[in-house]
Amino acid sequence: MLAYILRRVAASVLILVLSSMLVFVMVANSGDPLATLRLNPHTPASTYAARRALLHLNDPIPQRYWIWISNAVHGNFGSTIQGQPVAPQLWSHLFVTFQMVIIATIVAIVVAITVGVLSAIRRGRAFDSAATVTNFLFISIPVFVLGLILKEFVAIPINNAVGRTVLYTIGQESPNLTGGFVQRLPNYAGHFVLPVLTLILVSYPSWAIYQRSSMLEVLDSDYVRLARAKGLRPRRVLIRHTLRNALIPVTTVIALDFAAILGGAILVESVFSWQGVGVWFLAGVSNLDFNVVQAYLLVTAFFVVAFNLLADILYGVLDPRIRYG
Amino acid sequence: MAERPAGGGTGAPVRGRGARSGASVAAGRRLRRSRLPVAGGETHPLGDEHGMAGDARRQWQIVLGRFVRQPRAMISLGVFAVLGIGSVVAGFAWHYNYLTLTDQIATFTSGGPTWQHPFGVDPIGHDVFAQVMQGTKEDIQVALLVAAVTTLIGTTIGALAGYFRGWVDPILMRFTDFILAVPLLAVLAVLANLASKQSGSWFWVAMIIGFLAWTYVARLVRADFLSLRERDFVEAARAIGASNRRIIVRHLLPNAIGPIIVNATLTVANAIILESTLSFLGLGIQPPNISLGTLVASGEGDATTFWWLFVFPAAFIIVLILCINFIGDGLREAFDPRRSRVRA
């Protein structure tokens, strides 16, 4: 088991390094990040030269990559093209995004499992059909379209009806908030509802469909039939025998989907103007701010690899029949 | 399920064994008659799998038979066909081009849907119906190309890895892991930004998405091939001297075609989502080209005043993707009814 985990981690690190190299070369070759600074007639030549030196733009690309990655393993992600350190920006933006992602994931898991289980035990009845159509509908709405619909056609009418802003559509908190955490809580909540709801609605359906089919598979298994034949109470059969086993596959799917949630968060942030890590990354892409892009990609790749590994390990822990090869 | 001829494999022998002799003769005659129309010349490519039934309907006929019996999938196919053909026809037949500036503009009192402009006009005077049709066309083009590229690359890599194993498999699969390890949306953003600054056309956007999105198909095909290559009919083909190429193309691929087609369909839906997302972020299709994503993005700011600028493109995106997902679901059901119909 331990040897397996170590081997997986080694392979993942190698893949991470290779993919970060690819992205680095791509971004480094995509244009001059200091073009605005260079084209500004008021920039002193010395400032421009100093900025180039700070960003190591005069060095060959392999050397720049080496400088970047040897600093990155120590938590130093270099400078932005404005000359500020990347790391503090990265952590503060990541904190904003993770608040949203973690709350949304937890709620989405609960919703998905509830809907999936109820659909499975009421298979073919009204609830099941309604849930299936709803799942398909939410799978088919792109994140940004759903976010915009909630913003324009849910939040604004509700705010108009109430007469004041209850559901905020811009930012993660109002500027210049005063008072303690408790006084600020309603303001936070008003900002959280729509983005989190958007993420929940786009994440839960595929998990619910998965949970439904794994539940049906277990319900059809011999040991559940045996449990029923022994005369166990239906509730006990459902929870102890069926649900416990039907949760195993969906656990791994949720862990594997973490990448998709982070991707979705980029869009939710841009629709609702959150200062999260995704919006920060998009700005980095359009400014050719390569250290910002690299930092984002490294951190997300780290989480994706870590969650893939977690999925594999969880699978083995939850289901002892799985052997690691 | 079992009494329909569409049940294929298991239906006929079971029926024959249980019945009295007279009935089984009748059943045999019925089977022989049903074989006649398709016995013209060629041998059954899937004889190994379905041969024991004595039912010579071809695989695609069986699948088609199951597909047309699903109302939801058929309605979706119809709607998708109407949207696809309609968007192409509208490009020629509609009285406005998507770039034409009409003599009407959207103001606070006018510009909404009328007979002349069924989806209204925008503040500069574009006819929104013509724009939505053009966007739909571009989106479908992108999605079909992405599905073709991903299916081609993914199937080739998965087939080679699964069939040859040995040193080929780990190399191809580590390469697949490598492509997979890079967060898709992130790299699409970097790449699409670079490519679209040069061209910005639907073709490049589709190629970029296609070259990064094939990993799932590759894994799927590899897993299928790993189990299929151990089957007896492959052994038999090899014994009579069939080449690797022939075994892969004539024996293994037809048996793995179900999941490949289903996945290609779902890729079409995902490609529309990805393309519209990139365009919304300003990284996909660039002006003067338009897609439903760019229309939604530009209609967003006006959604409360000029609702038609947002509602129509958004509705078209959702309907398009929903139809394709329902078609994909119907195909899955048609190719493998066992998976979704568990006894319970």
pLDDT digits (tens, 9 = 90+) for A246-262: 888 888 888 888 877 88
> Which tens digit of pLDDT belongs to each residue from A24-52?
887 777 777 777 777 778 778 888 888 88
Residue A277, pLDDT score: 92
Structure tokens belonging to residue B324: 């394709």
Residue B11, pLDDT score: 32
Residues of A in contact with B340 (CB under 8 A): 213
> Which tens digit of pLDDT belongs to each residue from A259-316?
778 888 989 999 998 889 999 988 887 787 888 888 888 888 788 778 877 887 777 7
| Nearest-Cα residue of chain A relative to residue B304 | A152
ipTM of model over 0.85:
no
Probe site for chain A from B190, B291, B305 (most A CB atoms < 10 A): B190
Q: Can you say how many angstroms the Cα of residue B206 is from the centroid of all Cα atoms in its chain?
A: 15
B277 to A285: CB separation less than 8 angstroms, yes or no: no
Q: What is the pLDDT averaged over residues B310-316?
A: 91
The DSSP bridge partners found for residue A85 are: A79
* B257: pLDDT strictly greater than 50: yes
pLDDT tier at B190, thresholds 50, 70, 90 = low
Q: What is the pLDDT averaged over residues A233-256?
A: 85
Q: At what angle do helices B202-212 and B253-280 cross, to 10 degrees?
A: 130
* H-state helical runs in chain B: 11-18, 21-35, 47-50, 59-68, 71-93, 128-164, 168-181, 184-198, 202-212, 215-228, 232-239, 244-246, 253-280, 292-300, 307-335, 337-340
Q: Read off the pTM.
A: 0.81
Q: What is the dihedral of CA A284, A285, A290, A292, to 10 degrees?
A: 30
> Which tens digit of pLDDT belongs to each residue from B6-52?
333 333 333 333 333 333 333 333 444 333 344 334 444 544 454 55
Q: What is the pLDDT averaged over residues A77-99?
A: 89
Residues of A in contact with B190 (CB under 8 A): 23, 26-27, 30, 285, 293
Of A123, A270, A301, the CB nearest to B181: A301
Spatial neighbors of B69 by CB under 8 A, at least 6 apart, are none
Probe site for chain A from B75, B76, B197, B273 (most A CB atoms < 10 A): B273
**Contact status, residue B116 vs residue B103, Cβ threshold 8 Å:** no
**What is the least distance, in Å, from the CA of A157 to any CA of chain B?**
10
How high is the mean pLDDT of chain A? 85
Q: What is the pLDDT averaged over residues A199-211?
A: 93
Residues of B in contact with A262 (CB under 8 A): 183
Residues of A in contact with B322 (CB under 8 A): 136-137, 140
Residue B344, pLDDT score: 35
Residue B202, pLDDT score: 81
Instruction: Go through A159-178 and write b for each residue having 16 or more CB atoms within 10 A of its CB, e for each that does not.
Output: beeeeebebbbeebbeeeee
d(CA B49, CA B107): 65
| Nearest-Cα residue of chain A relative to residue B279 | A144
Structure tokens belonging to residue A226: 């045996």
Probe site for chain B from A23, A121, A140 (most B CB atoms < 10 A): A140
Q: pLDDT higher for A56 or A138?
A: A138
Residues of B in contact with A30 (CB under 8 A): 190, 193-194
**Is the peptide bond preceding residue B287 cis, with omega within 30 degrees of 0?**
no
Structure tokens belonging to residue B158: 């998965």
Q: What percent of chain B has pLDDT over 70?
A: 75
Residues of B in contact with A145 (CB under 8 A): 276, 296, 314, 317-318
Residues of A in contact with B280 (CB under 8 A): 142, 144, 267
Which of the residue ranges A16-20, B105-109, B246-250 would you say has the lowest mean pLDDT? B105-109
Residue B56, pLDDT score: 67
Q: What is the pLDDT averaged over residues A194-202?
A: 93
Residue B186, pLDDT score: 61
DSSP for residue B44: P
Q: What percent of chain A has pLDDT over 70?
A: 97
How high is the mean pLDDT of chain B? 77
Which of the residue ranges A104-118, A179-193, B41-55, B277-291 would you say has the lowest mean pLDDT? B41-55
DSSP for residue B241: T
> Which tens digit of pLDDT belongs to each residue from B156-189?
999 999 999 888 988 898 888 888 776 666 666 6
* H-state helical runs in chain A: 2-28, 35-39, 45-54, 61-72, 86-121, 126-139, 143-150, 156-162, 181-219, 222-229, 234-236, 244-256, 258-271, 277-286, 290-318
DSSP for residue A152: I
Of B178, B181, B190, the CB nearest to A304: B181
> Which tens digit of pLDDT belongs to each residue from A52-83?
888 888 888 888 888 888 888 888 888 888 88
d(CA B335, CA A268): 36
Probe site for chain B from A7, A17, A144 (most B CB atoms < 10 A): A144
Q: Can you say how many angstroms the Cα of residue A227 is from the centroid of all Cα atoms in its chain?
A: 39
B184 to A141: CB separation less than 8 angstroms, yes or no: no
Q: pLDDT higher for B108 or A23?
A: A23
**Contact status, residue B45 vs residue B62, Cβ threshold 8 Å:** no
Which of the residue ranges B142-151, B178-187, B263-272 would you say has the lowest mean pLDDT? B178-187
d(CA A59, CA A51): 13
Q: What is the pLDDT averaged over residues A114-131?
A: 92
* B55: pLDDT strictly greater than 60: no
Residue A90, pLDDT score: 92
- Report chain B residues touching chain A, CB-CB < 8 A: 174, 177-178, 181-187, 189-191, 193-194, 269, 273, 276-277, 280-283, 293, 296, 300, 303-304, 310, 314, 317-318, 321-322, 325-326, 329, 340, 342-344
CA-nearest of B344, B304, B293 to B135 is B293
